[in-house]
Structure 1
Amino acid sequence: MTRPLSSAERSAERRRNWLKGEADKARESRGEVGQMEFWLRLARSRIAKDAKAGRGDVHVGFAQICRLFITAMDKRAEGDGRIWNDLLTYAQQVLEKNPPRH
């Protein structure tokens, strides 16, 4: 028998469902571009909140992630898809193990 979910667990579940629903809606209306724009808006909002909370290293972290992504795209365009493939594989592994919580 399973116990009922706590208030925090229900809230996290609602948040996960909302994120999935919004990402799905964005993808249905504008395709992959719409889904990407949804996640960028969400990331921008979260970055602003973290910075306001005194976690300014979020700017450095996001800049590094962007640089990594651009490097992977550049290398792929040059014919070397290893970084791109590794990046996507790693991202998929992390996301599968860590679904959105809040």
Structure 2
Amino acid sequence: MIRLIIIVPFLLALVFFAASNQEATQMWLLAYGWSCSIGVLALLVAVVSFLLGAFSVWIVELGQRRRARRAEARVRELEAALAVHEAPRPMPPQAAPTVPGSIPTTPPPL
């Protein structure tokens, strides 16, 4: 929200500046010269700056995404290892307590 509070007035000022400066001005860069309005030039500079900033953020974000994917894969691997470790183990058969002098009986067939 705070970004909008900062960006919207800046964009409005830029648009008003471009609208109020419509007369063509001769410009040159080294041996190349052209004629355009200062407002259009300001809008072009703003667009190019925005695109360069977006591209640089995208490049930086690629590394963060790669680290996040590796971390998620590691979490899945550790959770699988934990699930195997905590799996219920079969109980060993327990011998029935025998009373001295009793005859062991076998269970009836099913």
TM-score range with shorter-chain normalisation?
0.3 to 0.5
- TM, length-normalised to structure 2: 0.32
Pick the structure with more strand per residue.
2
Higher RCO structure (Cα 8 Å, ≥6 apart): 1
Pick the structure with more helix per residue.
1
